[in-house]
Amino acid sequence: MSCEANTHADFIGYKDSGADICHVLRRSGVHVITGKDDPFPLQDDGWCFPDTERGILTAVHRGATHLWANTVLFGTHPLQYSAALDKHAPRLRIVGQPPLLVDAHDDKNFVNSMLRKDGRFRLPESRMLDRADAAGMSGLTYPAVGKPIRGRGSYGVKVCQNEAELCAHLEELLRESPLAMVEEYLPGEEGTVTVMPPSKEEPKYWALPIVVRFNHHDGIAPYNGVVAVTLNSRVPSDEETMADPTYAEICRQCEKVAESLRITAPIRIDVRRVSKKGGAPFAMFDINMKPNMTGPGRPGREDQASLTAMAAQKLGWSYAQLLKHILSSAQTLEHLRNVSLK
């Protein structure tokens, strides 16, 4: 896969990974349009355009042909509704998910219900609770996981050892949202699988190698802003994956999930074995519609490979090669706007 040297790419959203993406693509020969003409590699500022209608239009008027939506999209995002973008929609290409789908798929209860109804996927037991659902606490086994309905990474996720601890955590979660989720705790090995969208070079959904996680804090993998994932994650060896078919099995399952969700950009699915027993099957416990995309290239960022970048390294790809593969899968804004739940 390749990317033409005169491709224009522009980035909106998370500053650190946006800066990483811009800097590395620019150094690899892609014509990248940035917020400032010559942003400083040691700083996150100046690489991205504001995540607003005005910011997007500024990038387009400066010649951007591709926008990397390195941000959280939603149904009323300017990429979906801006009439000023209508005339550009047939030609402007986006690295990102359809905004209308993100609204639904960022809801953990909606996605879990959808996948359970499908019947092909292994998921932990879960239930939804609100402030009035005291009866919903009966029958739970501990430890149990309390988590927000919407959220990214490990934010708001806690392994609770008993009912009192769970009630206290749910009280915190329910201050921010009318509903919270209680989920079965899976005690086995944790992993994460990045699934790539179809592209001209690869017309199917396909998974990068699984990355396994370790050194959890209180049963939860820490946020990468606190502990770099390169310090608590690794890709299993060829010998390990050949000896244990469950690694390949969960990757195939994740590909089917991506197909069901009709993704148009990479997603990352977090999985855990249902028990500590070697070779126990994996279950899916979280789907990240916008995985972290940090990577090495800027000074001082050598240890900032994301989980997706680590998986790509197993294929022999550099961070720049990964970014070009993703860029080649960009869809037109017109296509993304027309994708809905129906």
Segments making up each domain of the chain, as ranges:
8-101, 125-184, 187-328
- Record the pTM: 0.92
Nearest to 288 by CA among 116, 106, 157: 106
Contacts of 209 (CB under 8 A, 6+ apart): 235, 236, 241, 251, 311, 314, 315
Q: β-strands 93-95, 66-70: how paired?
A: parallel
DSSP 180: E
Both tokens of 101, joined, read 């789908």
Whether residue 121 contacts residue 253, with contact meaning beta carbons closer than 8 Å, is answered with yes
Number of helices (H) and strands (E) in the chain: give both, helices first: 11, 15
Instruction: Quote the pLDDT of residue 90.
Output: 98
Question: Which three-class secondary structure state does DSSP give residue 87?
Answer: helix
Low-confidence ranges of the chain (pLDDT < 70): 1-13, 134-136, 153, 223-226, 342
| Architecture of domain 187-328 in this structure | 2-Layer Sandwich (3.30)
Contacts of 98 (CB under 8 A, 6+ apart): 73, 262, 264, 336, 337, 339, 340
Instruction: Quote the pLDDT of residue 11.
Output: 52
Instruction: Quote the pLDDT of residue 216.
Output: 83
Question: Which three-class secondary structure state does DSSP give residue 128?
Answer: strand
Instruction: Quote the pLDDT of residue 305.
Output: 94
Instruction: Quote the pLDDT of residue 65.
Output: 97
Q: How far is CA 64 from the centre of its chain?
A: 24
Percent of the chain with pLDDT over 90: 81
- CB-hemisphere CA count at 13 Å for 94? 25
Question: Which three-class secondary structure state does DSSP give residue 130?
Answer: coil
Contacts of 212 (CB under 8 A, 6+ apart): 189, 190, 191, 233, 234, 235, 236
Instruction: Quote the pLDDT of residue 225.
Output: 63
- For 206-237, letters b (16+ CB in 10 Å) and e give bbbbbbbbeeeeebbbbebeeebbbebbebbe
Whether residue 71 contacts residue 50, with contact meaning beta carbons closer than 8 Å, is answered with no
| Domain 125-184: CATH superfamily, name plus number | ATP-grasp fold, A domain (3.30.1490.20)
Q: How far is CA 135 from the centre of its chain?
A: 34
Nearest to 272 by CA among 148, 184, 180, 154: 184
- Give burial (CB, 10 Å; 0-12/13-18/19+) of 113: middle
Nearest to 222 by CA among 274, 292, 283: 292
Instruction: Quote the pLDDT of residue 2.
Output: 27
Spatial distance between the Cα atoms of 220 and 232, rounded to a whole number of angstroms: 12
Spatial distance between the Cα atoms of 93 and 327, rounded to a whole number of angstroms: 9
CATH node for 8-101: 3.40.50
Q: How far is CA 148 from the centre of its chain?
A: 16
195 backbone dihedrals φ, ψ, rounded to 5°: -110, 130
Whether residue 281 contacts residue 246, with contact meaning beta carbons closer than 8 Å, is answered with yes
Both tokens of 81, joined, read 């509704």
Whether residue 99 contacts residue 75, with contact meaning beta carbons closer than 8 Å, is answered with yes
Amino acid at 15: K
Helix (H), strand (E) at residue 267: strand 267-273
Q: β-strands 93-95, 158-160: how paired?
A: unpaired
